[in-house]
């Protein structure tokens, strides 16, 4: 049996799966455009990993749910420190190997009219902060490219990868045998459980959520906000 530990880095989550032979880290945190203080959260993440007992010889794998900066920013640093590997879907490789301002801002599309208005008013500020973040980002290439159905059992976790494009092209979710879904930004729980508030393609996002309805999901672990029961969304 595995244990899913939520690591709240202040507005964005990472998750640590405690397995038989060590740990798997899902996402690595990063800057948020709404931050009052410009920080990549890496020191905070390392402290949380140490507190959970995840030492250098115990981190089996880093899995990125997608390539956005706030989830992938510290991946290269954590890989080097723990001497482990990074796994992610090939659809988001360019976001981490050769990121550009336009590609990073592709997912800043909102369904809600209110959010679109707010983003429109803040677009210059968001662009400025995204440029600053881009300058600080440590580019990397993933060691393992994940595909739909990829089995994580060889790393000690009875779980499979589900490709859920929409928020980004290479977004994935990971479903454990016990019904825990590590969902990245396919879902959020800011004020209440909901599909992603922003996405690269909302039509794809809706199709991915329909796809997830075919699985036995109990608890959703979102990229932002507290975990919730799948039936709540």
Cross-strand partners of 23: 18, 59
pLDDT of residue 176: 97
CA distance 114 to 130: 21
Residue 109: the pLDDT is 81
The pLDDT assigned to 130 comes to: 86
Q: What is the reported pTM?
A: 0.94
In this structure, the number of other CB atoms found within 10 A of the CB of residue 112 comes to 11
pLDDT given for residue 58 in this prediction? 95
**How many CA within 13 A on the CB side of residue 8?**
7
pLDDT recorded at residue 68: 95
CATH class of 3-224: alpha beta
How far CA 28 is from CA of 72, 124, 160, in Å, comes to 6, 27, 20
Handedness of CA 98, 99, 102, 103 (dihedral sign): positive
Q: What is the model's pLDDT at position 1?
A: 55
> pLDDT digit of tens for each residue in the chain (233 aa)?
579 999 999 999 999 999 988 999 999 999 998 788 899 999 999 999 999 999 989 999 999 999 999 999 999 999 999 999 999 999 999 999 999 988 887 777 887 777 778 777 777 887 888 889 999 999 999 999 999 999 999 999 999 999 999 999 999 999 999 999 999 999 999 999 999 999 999 999 999 999 999 999 999 999 999 999 999 98
Rounded-to-integer distance, Cα 75 and Cα 118, Å: 30
SS3 of 25-80:
EECCCCCCCCCCCCCCCHHHHHHHHHHCCCCCCCEEEEECCCCCHHHHCCHHHHHH
Residue 97 in tokens: 């190997």
What pLDDT is attached to residue 223? 98
């Amino acid at each position: 049996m595995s244990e899913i530990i939520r690591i709240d880095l202040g507005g964005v989550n990472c998750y640590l799966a405690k397995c038989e032979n060590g740990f798997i880290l899902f996402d690595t945190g990063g800057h948020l455009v709404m931050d009052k203080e410009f920080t990549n959260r890496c020191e905070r993440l390392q402290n949380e990993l140490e507190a959970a007992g995840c030492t250098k010889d115990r981190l089996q794998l880093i899995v990125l749910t997608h390539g956005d900066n706030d989830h992938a920013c510290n991946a290269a640093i954590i890989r080097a420190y723990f001497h482990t590997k990074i796994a992610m879907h090939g659809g988001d490789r360019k976001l981490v190997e050769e990121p550009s301002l336009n590609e990073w801002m592709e997912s800043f599309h909102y369904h809600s009219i209110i959010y679109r208005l707010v983003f429109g008013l803040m677009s210059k500020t968001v662009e400025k902060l995204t440029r600053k973040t881009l300058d600080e980002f440590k580019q990397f290439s993933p060691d393992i490219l994940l595909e739909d159905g990829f089995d994580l059992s060889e790393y000690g976790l009875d779980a499979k990868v589900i490709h859920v494009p929409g928020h980004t092209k290479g977004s994935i979710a990971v479903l454990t045998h016990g019904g825990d879904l590590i969902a990245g930004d396919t879902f959020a729980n800011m004020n209440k459980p909901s599909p992603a508030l922003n996405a690269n393609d909302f039509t794809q996002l809706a199709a991915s959520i329909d796809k997830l309805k075919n699985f036995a999901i109990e608890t959703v672990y979102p990229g932002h906000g507290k975990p919730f029961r799948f039936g709540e969304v």
